[in-house]
Amino acid sequence: MAGRGWDGCPPAALAPGAFVPRTSSSSSFVPIATTRNNKHDKRPRSIPPPIERRSRSEINNDSNNMADDHLKRRRLPSDSECCVSSSSAAASASISAPPPSAGDGKDDGKASPSSSSSPAAASRAIDFLTLTRSLKTTKRTGWVRSGVSRPESIADHMYRMSLMAMIASRDANNANASACARGGGGGDDDDDDDRRRVVINADRCVRLAMVHDLAEATVGDITPHCGVSDAEKYARELAAMETMRDVLGPTLGGDEFLELWREYEEGETDESKLVKDLDKVEMILQALEYEAEGDHETSLDGFFDGTAGKWRTEIGRAWAEEIVSRRRRASPAREKNNTPPPPPLPSNCSR
């Protein structure tokens, strides 16, 4: 390769001023002779071609053509390699896309595939929320009768019950898992093992807690001291919940609200049993707090006596015992009036 250019051609064939490597070990380069002053170069001179003058627009056009050629050389995926072909994508769009609305914008309460809230749906939602405002302003009847100066509202009670439901459902599942690990199964303990394996739905418990006193937004907080029978109380609250269901409509979950309320009232599911216990646990916890503050005119013993022995879940029983234990420590004089925890009641006991 000595004396030849980069492409193997003689140096004379290269343009003037080009560089070729030395044949020695040196890494420096020497220029090809391009002037007549180099007397040692006897090779024929080559005349460089004239430099072509090109406009900027011509240069840009060439660059664009090169880019287009590059894109054409790229391999595009076939239809079989795509996740969704154009025909299947069009079919999917025709299935999932909602039909065009031909109505006048009115919401008849029926389900609609529309992803955006219509003005009618927004109106229903605000009507419902305005209807429930009294939950924030109506004071709980039991505390008013006991002379509490700053009694909690119905919404206060429901909110802390919702927090309890989140925690208690996890506590119940942890206890069930531990009991399942300890239990062997078989024999007369099959029913007990089945109960241990029950998994509490935490989301369901929270929903039940949020809805269980919702009817009181219109009928008020009816207690056994109000002179209203249980049947009449149920009828009033059922009518209130049916009205709320109609206000919301199916699209905003009106049917679910009514279903949750009925589930709580019937108290047959594991979640409703737990939430019913939490209803009473929250009440005696609030009573303990009012006693600690001294914010009551009459004795609050009736709240503790009225719930004793009415627990349907182990979580409700354990939490209630903790509250009663703290009450005893706060007032040792009550020790003489306290008795051991009563045995569990049958499963058909009421609230």
Structural domains in the chain, CATH included, are 134-337 (1.10.3210.10)
Instruction: With a cut of 80, say whether residue 58 has pLDDT above it.
Output: no
pLDDT at 185: 45
Residue 97 has pLDDT above 70, yes or no: no
What count of other Cβ atoms lies within 10 Å of the Cβ of residue 79? 10
Residue 208: the pLDDT is 98
The 10s digit of each residue's pLDDT in 224-248 is 889 999 999 999 999 999 999 999 9
How confident is the model at residue 76, as a pLDDT? 44
Residue 163 CA to residue 180 CA, distance in Å, equals 26
- Work out the widest C-alpha separation in the chain, in whole angstroms: 131
Tell me what pLDDT residue 225 has. Answer: 87
Between these two residues, 333 and 13, which has the higher pLDDT value?
333
Q: Please state, for a pLDDT cut of 70, what percent of the chain lies above it.
A: 57
The pLDDT of residue 124 is above 80:
yes
Instruction: Give the integer Cα–Cα distance in Å for 229 and 261.
Output: 19
CA distance 65 to 218: 76
Whole-prediction pTM value? 0.60
Residue 123 has pLDDT above 50, yes or no: yes
The yes-or-no verdict on residue 351 having pLDDT over 50 is no
Give the separation between CA 198 and CA 272, rounded to whole angstroms.
13
What band does 261 get if pLDDT is binned at 50, 70 and 90? very high
Question: In whole angstroms, what is the distance from residue 149 CA to residue 143 CA?
Answer: 9
Centre a 10 Å sphere on the Cβ of residue 311 and count the other Cβ atoms it contains.
24
Quick: pLDDT tens for 65-93: 665 555 455 444 444 433 333 333 333 33
Of 112 and 42, the structure prediction assigns the larger pLDDT to 42
Is the predicted pLDDT of residue 334 greater than 50, yes or no?
yes
Closest CA to 347 of 280, 282, 260, 269: 269
Cα first-last separation, the chain: 104
pLDDT of residue 62: 66
pLDDT tens digits, 297-323: 889 999 999 999 999 999 999 999 999
Of 289, 273, 149, the residue nearest 208 (C-alpha): 273
- Looking at residue 82, its pLDDT comes to 37
| Position 150 pLDDT exceeds 50 | yes
Rounded Cα gap, residues 306 and 106, in angstroms: 50
- CB-count burial class (<10 Å; 0-12, 13-18, 19+) for 245: buried
* Structure tokens that stand for 337 in this block: 């009036």
Res. 182 pLDDT band, cuts 50 70 90: confident
Mean pLDDT of 156-181: 91
